[in-house]
Amino acid sequence: MKKTKSGVRKIFAVVGGLIVGANSPLSGQAGESSLDGDEVFELSPFEVGAQEEQGYRATSSLVGGRTKMSMDDIANSVDVITKDLMEDMAVTDIQDIAVIANNVEPATVGFANTSGESREVWNYNWITIRGFRVGTATRNFMNLETSVDAYNTQSVDFSKGPNAVLFGLGDPGGTYNYSTKTPFFEDDNSVSYKIGSEGGHRFSFDVNRVLVEDKLSVRVNGLKQDWEYYHKPGYTQTDALHVSLRWKPLENSTFTFSHEYNNVDRAYPKMYFGQDRVTPWLAAGGPEVVDFALDVDDPRNPDGIAKGSNVLLAGNDKATPVGDAAMSIKGVTYMVHDLEDVVHDRFLQIDPYVVNGLQVADPHTYANFGYPMNYSASGPNGLSDTRYNVTELNFQQKLAENLYLDLSYGKNDQQKLSANGINSDIWVYPEAGERFGELYTVTSRPMQMRRYWDIEDIRMSLSYDFDFGDRSNYLGSHRIAVMAEKNDKTEIWEQGRLVTTRDPNNEISGSLRASKLRPSFYSFFNPAEGEYTAMDWRQTYWDQDRIEIDGYAFDWLQTDLWANMALRQKLDTKLYVLQSRFWNDRIVTSIGYRKEARDEFRSAGTYGDQTDPTAIIVPEYGYVDNKPAGESSFRYAKIPGEPTDYVSGISRNHGLVFHATDWVSLTYNRSNSIGLPSDSKDIFGNFLGSSQGITDDYGVRFKLLEEKVFLSLNAYETHSDESMQFGDFRTDAWTLEEILVANSDVTGVTSNMLENGNGHTNASKVAEGIELMINGNFANGWSFRISGSQNETLINEAGMDMIAFWDERYANVYSNPAYQGLYINDGSSTFGARVDDAAYEIAKIRALQDNQQFPSSKYALTSIVKYKVQGDGFLEGSSFGTVIDWKSAPIVGYYQDASGNFDITRPAKGEERTNVDFFAAYGRSLTDKVDWRLQLNVRNVFDDNDPYVIEKRSVGTDPDNFTWQNYKWRPVNGLTWELTNSFSF
């Protein structure tokens, strides 16, 4: 059930009051627009106004030196997504924006995504820049852990490569910052309402009112949306209100205050295809099972087939081997059917769809049982729900001629609920009865995680300009900027999994983490009746109430060490930037120096009394004295008074721009960045070290056709040491350990070696590429932006710990023939099948050494062209445009020889992909004060919705005679449209 949110009436009350106040005596008069160049005060060097944008091109940015610089003079490779571009593309968030940014990809693309799954369930900010994953967005250059939404965003700046002048960030591929909308001294209002082909709506407004002429203005941005997506059943529901106030009490003083309340519920189906467990059953004739696991002396089992290997089918009078019916019998588990009844017994499982000996997840087989490819059986249970309140204060003062002060403060109180525990495989129920032949999906012990942030950031900056040009052109003019910043962040993680805590006979005892207590939840659905997915668990995740059925009880318990902790981090940053101009501004240099030091105070989770539901995982340093009785939340964890860790680092940035002529410039930039350690863990649960990178950028820029067209070409090479994720191997290896523990009577293994670990590892990477950007206006009415990139990321020394673990564990444990038929109690996979999967993943990791990661396209090109009708007439002011996005065929696999090794000289290629979008707008002045605009955006005009292959595997061990088998696919959004109705007044 979708949650209904409060605060909507407040939004309408605020905007209504502001609009009614348009004619109050204190209101400013229209036409006194700072956007038109009549700014009544001088912008400080720490601020970029909306007037710095010219259509799809920004003319200045803060990312080059933390003070305003012309884009012409910034040596870094920077891509600014302007407000006009966001409006024409109808993008709303960072995942949309990443599609149109140059050499940037959204979370659903790239090697790092396990099974092609969207990472935004856990961190909505995940994107890829230059082949490197980036998960942090700064808001007005403060790390406040918020996310981009177009309703209150002025622009988004992508800085490519490490950048020493950006606070607190060390991602080698790049970083991005979004600037929020601020008040200006002109009355201006707009409202828009958008609907889409997939259902839902999005209403937003932007009201700017002058309360005291040239002195006081307020701006209110609001958003109310309930939006649905092509891949179902997914939706985003948002209530958000952003209020900002600008006060200019004196000529050289400006205060800005803002507060945002943002409440987002996001439900994503997993963006990959689950296993087909229906087609094999249909191919076997759709057998109906009357009984199974008969005793060897049962009269219905005259052939004495082993108990775990026989079924009795409808219409037969004797048992047959279970394999003949395309199914297998699994161990005893708690099966919860549609939250209606519970069965504690052995169960049947349909065999997976197999082609050429491989369990392929081919979505094209879904047509065999009437299941659409744009649905996910997991339902709307990839949750990323966020509630935050952000307060920001800014004071700017001109202290003296060319001397400016900037004081900024930011605070964020935030809560996030993430959940992704519902399986996407599609099964059919083969047992006789009312559920026979029904489809279902099943998951073992659903998991949810809650995270809480309390962040405060305070920053002081000074900028001083001095000019020696009157003495000599060789001495030049200069700007020096210094900054000191403190960021204090408290972060709490606490996790819950459903565990069986009571049965009708009260026989639950021992460790509550035991695998035998893991319940499996079945959700049944019937495609013929328009039912395609599992139930919506959102309310259950939020409430965390006990589930009681038929005398059984299931409770949300904290069971995983890695997912429970209390953490405080205090980060101090010192930044020094010198920008210089020589030879009549033909040579522009920038030097940045950043020093950071972080104290960390961590209270990790440790095992307590595993028989006590409130003490399975407890804080390392205990709880605070005033913890409520019976409360086990890590929000009450005692955080140590002394640092548990300390790290520091120095980053540098050196840039040079040479304006050889008025229309040709050459650029060079060398940056290194030392990122602070993250919370990523290796497979054993150890935290990874700092990331660090160094990049050289070489560029040439042209101003053409009387500065109507701007072209830049930039070549780069980045060397980095950072974390990398191999989630598939970690999942396979962790499951192997769980099967060993679940069968300890056979294996003697009583603990999971990887219990506290995760799928991250250290890796060295080298990225080389070229970036092309062409934008501007080449004729009356024509605007365009063409961006292209060539990127090749080579991986070195990745996953050495995983390879070492596998080699030792396989030789001594995993290769044991006696273990190959074992399985965990939920029956999801046999030990032998998991060994094969893990061996393949390890072979892939070995093959990646000194080779390109995949699937990743080497070449990409995005063309955006718009024409605005000129002159008088009915179509005056209308505009039409297209977006063409092309990606080259990626490498999606390598030939695997008889020894299990990959031959990188024999790659498999995927398909080139081209997507075409269309947009058109029509506008009219309804009165002398009211303008109306209607905009249509059509995505994937040619409805090319066939999934594309992201992994192929070789079949056969003869290098001269083998075939390729498609193994994994990724969904594609089909044709959709959005219609936006806007009024400005």
Q: What share of the chain is helix, strand, coil (3-state, %, to 5)?
A: 15, 50, 35
The residue written with tokens 């999934």 in the block is 947
The conformational region for residue 610 under phi > 0 = left, psi -120 to 50 = alpha, else beta, is alpha
**Contacts for 430 with CB less than 8 Å, ≥ 6 apart:** 281, 287, 288, 289, 325, 327, 348, 350, 436, 437
Whole-number Å distance between alpha carbons of 593 and 603: 33
Closest CA to 735 of 808, 804, 843, 838: 838
**Is-contact 234 228, C-beta < 8 A?**
yes
Q: Between the CA of residue 574 and those of 137, 483, 594, what are the distances in Å?
A: 20, 6, 6
What is the pLDDT, as a whole number, of residue 666? 98
What is the pLDDT, as a whole number, of residue 693? 83
Q: Between the CA of residue 837 and those of 359, 732, 815, what are the distances in Å?
A: 10, 7, 13
The DSSP line for 952-983 is: EEEE-S-TTS-EEEEEEEE-----EEEEEEEE
Whole-number Å distance between alpha carbons of 401 and 115: 58
Amino acid at site 775? N
What is the pLDDT, as a whole number, of residue 786? 97
What is the pLDDT, as a whole number, of residue 899? 84
Cα 42 from chain centroid (whole Å): 38
**Is-contact 197 976, C-beta < 8 A?**
yes
CA angle 833, 836, 837 (to 5 degrees): 90
What is the pLDDT, as a whole number, of residue 60? 81
Whole-number Å distance between alpha carbons of 902 and 721: 24
Q: Which helix (H) or strand (E) holds 839?
A: helix 831-848
Closest CA to 285 of 259, 252, 324, 339: 324
What is the pLDDT, as a whole number, of residue 725? 74
Low-confidence ranges of the chain (pLDDT < 70): 1-43, 49-53, 64-65, 108-122, 164-170, 269, 421, 675-679, 825-828, 853-855
CA angle 144, 145, 149 (to 5 degrees): 100
* Residue 138: both structure tokens together: 């700064």
Whole-number Å distance between alpha carbons of 244 and 14: 12
**Is-contact 601 513, C-beta < 8 A?**
no
